[in-house]
Amino acid sequence: MDRYRVEPGTTVRLSEHDPRDDAAFEGAKKAGKQRLEELNGRLEALQELLYAEGRRRVLVVLQATDTGGKDGVIRHVFDGVNPQGVKVASFKKPTPLELAHDYLWRVHPHVPGDGEITIFNRSHYEDVLVVRVHSLVSEQQWRLRYDHINDFERMLAEEGTTILKFFLHISKEEQAERLQARLDDPAKHWKFSLGDLEERTRWNAYQAAFEEALSRTSTPWAPWYVVPADRKWYRNLVVASVLVQTLEGLGMEFPPPEDDLTGVVVT
């Protein structure tokens, strides 16, 4: 999965990343889904181990354009994991109370605790994405935030949090198809708003904002992965593979029992 990792210090050009790429898996969609089931089972076991050990924390950041598949990743990749140790935090338009504080104030309370995996469905990166595209603060102000974010994530990492950040990369054509599918299905109308079409007119501005954010904030302690996301099955496979590989690399162990269990028999 290193092919999708953004190396620190490199400049990202999304035009150089194929959103329909599936080269890291030699198999068809059906085989990919079978592999995802295997990864789901492995992730479930690793998440239980993380929770039982209770010493490490994992933060998963999901960012994408509208219809990029953040909800789909959460639904399919984390299928079967114990919800006791996995939390999802969504960051929508800030409230007046949140706006009265610094922009990271609303984020910090949601980072994972010991033994937890927390998934950010959108995140603190909205403050260098939406804020930038809509000119909600000055350019001087949002440009300072790249360093703020790097320092914030470094602090989390040094305190024991493993951070994985995924940009779900779809094409403009794929977005059009997904938006139309929501319009065509009455059961999905709740997921559609006319504002989605207004945001779509800013496609190029968002692409530029994502490119700079990915370039400026992919660090050794909090790397970004540009995930090809036009093919949903492959998107899920990439994210699950990175998660499993990362968790396996933590060297986790179940804690010893509190009591000596030698010779204990339940009668």
DSSP assignments along 5-50, one per residue: B--TTPPP-GGGS-TT--TT--S-HHHHHHHHHHHHHHHHHHHHHH
Residue 91 and residue 122: Cα distance in Å, rounded?
6
Say whether pLDDT at 27 is over 80. no
Q: From 250, 231, 239, 247, select the one nearest 78 (Cα to Cα).
A: 239
- What are the angstrom distances between the C-alpha of 78 and each of 105, 156, 232? 27, 23, 15
> Is a pLDDT exceeding 80 seen at residue 26?
no
User: In this predicted model, what pLDDT tens digit does every residue of 150-161 receive, in sequence order?
Assistant: 999 999 999 999
| pLDDT at residue 124 in the model | 97
Q: What is the pTM of this model?
A: 0.95
Query: In 3D, which of 123, 111, 119, 122 has the Cα closest to residue 160?
Result: 111
pLDDT, residue 156, reads 98
The domain locations on the chain are 2-248
What pLDDT digit, counting tens, does each position of 184-235 carry?
999 999 989 999 999 999 999 999 999 999 999 999 999 999 999 999 999 9
pLDDT category at 259 given cuts 50, 70, 90 is confident
pLDDT score of 232: 96
CATH architecture of 2-248: 3-Layer(aba) Sandwich (3.40)
